[in-house]
Structure 1
Amino acid sequence: MAEFLRIYEENPNPREIDKVVAILKRGGLIIYPTDTVYGLGCDITNIKALERVARIKGVKLEKSNFSFICHDLSNLSDYVKQIDTSVFKLLKRNLPGAYTFILPGSKNLPNPFKKKKTVGIRVPDNNIALEIVKALGNPIISTSIHDDDEIIEYTTDPELIFEKWANKVDAVIDGGYGDNIPSTVVDLSTDEPVIVREGKGDLEIF
Structure 2
Amino acid sequence: MDISRTFYFIKNTEGNYIGIVYNMNGDLHWLILPNYRGKGLLTNALSKTILPHIFQDNRKEQRITIDRERIGDLYYLASLKVALAVGFTIKENNARRTELTIERSKFEKVPFIDGINTSLSDNRKNKIVDKAREITFELFKITSELEMKKGFTYEVEEVKTIAESVKKATDIIYDICWYIKKSNQDIA
- Shared fold (TM-score, shorter chain, > 0.5): no
- Taking structure 1 as the reference length, what is the TM-score of the superposition? 0.21
Larger relative helix fraction:
2
* Higher RCO (CA-CA < 8 Å; seq separation 6+): 1
Bigger Cα Rg: 2
